[in-house]
């Protein structure tokens, strides 16, 4: 509706990658919501996992509460042995505007992939 | 058990969740859908009176069942999504304990199980949960109160888990293999319930004037039912004497010590309200309950009672 968002007004909040913070139409006349707890991004390492994997996000008042909530929300089915939480506003994300300069140059450099080797079936995690 | 666990053959390396349920050896006992006590030695230890063991298991089971149902009433009503799930998890943990304990009671003494119509597929633990009236329940009265606000839930879970954890820590050495196994499993669950509620207790006490006011009001309201948790019923004395149960009076010092730590961290003084009297000296352990339990059971049991031949 107003100015198009620029690279400087983006946030990774919400766990969906960079999203614009300004120039986005919202419910006009609807009062602003109550201030919320900060958003945290949750990373879980599974029993046989090698590294922590992003599994989602949640709200919590502080770091410790975020860990407890992450335990309740994301490890209910015996998924994890370790949890990391980090405040979403502490994450710096690349912006969609930068997509081409960031990622396109690697698209035609197939020789960077180790696809010209035969990998034995018993080599894990490739 | 295998047929109940579904896994998808997706790429193991793409998801934190994939590949985690392929080997179900890590599932504890009590997750079998047919026999909750599968794999546990259910023989009655030498010198133990089976009716005493059954009555004692019913007490611990009813505590968990009634408390679980009250906490489950928070589902979809908690202040936010995350605490909604946290409270639901706590309710499910307690429901799992209830199922094992009621199954233990039925196995030890089949005469405690209400009679159902011939051919009813309801397992004994379900018959105990859904076909007994309030006066047959042996839960402490703290568990059955009508829910209040979130602060009340925090205080109730704290008092309940502090007490129950102290009990289960000792129950792990019960001569009854089932009770010992239930306690060993439950200690981990209750330790989390205690941690969750204690943190919220401190947070609310140290939060705003309003959160502290609500917390203190909840503590004052529940305090009269705290001493009842440490009363020794004749069944509990007999179970403790036989080496299968825990005398509640023996865990009072440990439980009070933990609670005092939480109160100190929250800077909340111990309430001074006197204990709530029983009716002619009878309390929850004697089957003396308030109206709220009858109303709760009416809702909880109505579907099962309407369909005693139902397969769930």
pLDDT at B145 over 50: yes
pLDDT at residue B110 is higher than 80: yes
Per mean pLDDT, which of A75-79, B139-143, B281-285 is the most reliable? B139-143
Q: Count the neighbouring beta carbons within 10 Å of the beta carbon of residue B229.
A: 24
ipTM confidence score: 0.71
pLDDT higher than 60, residue A1: no
| Residues of A with Cβ-Cβ distance to B83 under 8 angstroms | 69
Binned at pLDDT 50, 70 and 90, residue B9 comes out as: very low
Our CA-based measurement puts residue A78 at a distance from the nearest CA of chain B, in whole angstroms, of: 8
Chain A contact present for B219, CB below 8 A = no
Which residues, 6+ apart, have CB-to-CB distance to B67 below 8 Å?
A: B94, B139, B143, B160
* Whether this model's pTM surpasses 0.90: no
**Residue B147, φ and ψ in degrees, nearest 5:** -60, 145
CB contact under 8 A, A45 and B86: no
What pLDDT digit, counting tens, does each position of B24-53 carry?
Answer: 555 556 666 678 888 788 889 988 999 999
> Among B13, B19, B82, whose Cβ lies nearest the Cβ of A58?
B82
Residues 6+ apart with CB under 8 A from B273: B220, B223, B224
Whether A79 has its CB under 8 Å from any CB of chain B: the answer is yes
- Quote the mean pLDDT of chain B: 90
Segments in chain B forming alpha helices (H): 50-72, 81-108, 124-130, 150-171, 177-205, 209-222, 234-241, 252-266, 291-306
Other CB atoms within 10 A of residue B200 CB:
25
Task: For residue B205, count other CB atoms closer than 10 A to its CB.
Answer: 21
Q: Token pair of A34, please?
A: 């109550």
B163-175 pLDDT, tens per residue?
A: 999 999 999 999 9
Tell the CATH superfamily of the B51-106+134-288 domain. Ferritin, core subunit, four-helix bundle (1.20.1260.10)
Q: B92, B230, B224, B66: which is closest to B163 by C-alpha?
A: B230
Residues of B in contact with A47 (CB under 8 A): 20
- Name every residue whose Cβ is closer than 8 Å to that of residue A90 and which is 6 or more positions away in sequence: none
Cβ contact, residue pair B16, A60, below 8 Å: no
Distance CA A110, CA B29 (A): 52
Contact B249, B232 (CB under 8 A): yes
Chain A, 36 to 75: residues with Cβ < 8 Å from chain B are 37, 44-49, 52-53, 55, 58-61, 64-65, 68-69, 71-73
Nearest-Cα distance to chain B for A113, in Å, is 18
Question: What are the structural domains of chain A?
Answer: 34-94 (3.10.20.520)
Which chain B positions have a beta carbon within 8 Å of A71's beta carbon? 192
Backbone angles phi, psi at B216, to 5 degrees: -65, -40
Nearest to B86 among A44, A69, A125 (CB): A69
């Amino acid at each position: 509706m107003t100015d198009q968002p620029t690279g400087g007004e983006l946030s990774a909040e919400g766990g969906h990658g960079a999203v614009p913070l300004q120039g986005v139409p919202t419910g006009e006349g609807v009062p602003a919501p109550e201030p919320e707890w900060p958003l945290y991004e949750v990373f879980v390492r599974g029993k046989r996992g090698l590294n922590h994997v992003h599994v989602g996000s949640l709200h919590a008042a502080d770091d410790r509460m975020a860990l407890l909530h992450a335990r309740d929300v994301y490890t209910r089915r015996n998924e994890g042995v370790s949890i990391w939480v980090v405040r979403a506003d502490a994450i710096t994300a690349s912006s969609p505007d930068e997509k081409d300069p960031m990622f396109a140059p690697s698209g035609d450099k197939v020789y960077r992939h180790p696809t010209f080797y035969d990998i034995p079936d018993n080599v894990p995690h490739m | 058990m295998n047929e109940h666990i579904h896994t998808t053959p997706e790429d193991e390396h793409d998801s934190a969740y994939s590949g985690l349920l392929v080997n179900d050896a890590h599932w504890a006992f009590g997750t079998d859908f047919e026999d909750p006590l599968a794999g546990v030695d259910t023989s009655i230890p030498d010198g133990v009176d089976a009716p005493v063991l059954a009555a004692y298991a019913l007490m611990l089971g009813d505590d968990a069942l009634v408390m679980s149902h009250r906490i489950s009433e928070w589902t979809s009503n908690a202040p936010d999504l995350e605490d909604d799930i946290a409270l639901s998890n706590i309710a499910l943990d307690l429901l799992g304990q209830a199922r094992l304990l009621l199954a233990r009671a039925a196995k030890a003494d089949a005469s405690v199980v209400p009679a159902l119509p011939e051919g009813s597929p309801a397992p004994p633990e379900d018959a105990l949960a859904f076909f007994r009236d309030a006066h047959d329940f042996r839960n402490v009265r703290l568990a059955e109160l009508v829910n209040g606000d979130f602060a009340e839930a925090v205080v109730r879970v704290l008092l309940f888990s502090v007490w129950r954890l102290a009990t289960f820590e000792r129950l792990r050495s019960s001569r009854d293999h089932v009770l010992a196994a239930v306690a060993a499993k439950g200690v981990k669950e209750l330790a989390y319930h205690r941690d969750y509620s204690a943190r919220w207790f401190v947070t609310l006490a140290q939060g705003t004037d309003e959160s502290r006011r609500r917390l203190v009001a909840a503590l004052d309201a529940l305090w009269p039912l705290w001493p009842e948790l440490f009363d020794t019923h004749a069944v509990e004395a007999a179970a403790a004497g036989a080496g299968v149960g825990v005398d509640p009076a023996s865990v009072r010092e440990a439980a009070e010590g933990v609670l005092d730590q939480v109160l100190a961290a929250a800077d909340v003084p111990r309430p001074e309200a006197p204990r709530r009297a029983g009716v002619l000296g009878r309390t929850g352990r004697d089957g003396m309950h308030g109206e709220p339990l009858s109303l709760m059971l009416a809702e909880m049991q109505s579907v099962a009672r309407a369909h005693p031949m139902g397969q769930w």
